[in-house]
Amino acid sequence: MTFVVTDNCIRCKYTDCVEVCPVDCFYEGPNFLVINPDECIDCALCEPECPAEAILSEDELSEDQKVFLEINDELSQVWPNITEKKDPLPDAEEWDGQPNKIEFLDRS
């Protein structure tokens, strides 16, 4: 099992979760964070730290969120590792809670 960053992180990118991860399994893209599923030890420390409630256990994913397991795996292979908290994106509060943000995911 692993924890998965889902679509509510897109265009918010709060990094509170990164600080508590004992295995540094978070990776950072331009407007989204991901968890490397092979590195996650399923400790659950990150989930309550996310102000956007964007981190879920793999077994809690709804059918439409299951695509994020693959996205987390794929992007954690190419994005740089992040181990320290940073400021969220400038308009994070405006985007927090907006539905269907996957179209805004910047994979670069």
pLDDT tens string 31-51: 999 999 999 999 999 999 999
**Which sequence spans correspond to the domains of the chain?**
1-56
* The pLDDT value given to residue 89: 96
What stretches of 1-108 show up as alpha helix (H) in DSSP?
16-20, 67-76, 92-95
Type of residue found at 32: F
Fold of 1-56: Alpha-Beta Plaits (3.30.70)
Give the pLDDT means over successive 10-residue stretches in the chain (108 positions).
Answer: 96 97 98 98 97 97 96 98 96 95 96
Reported as a single tens digit per residue, the pLDDT across 62-72 is 999 999 999 99
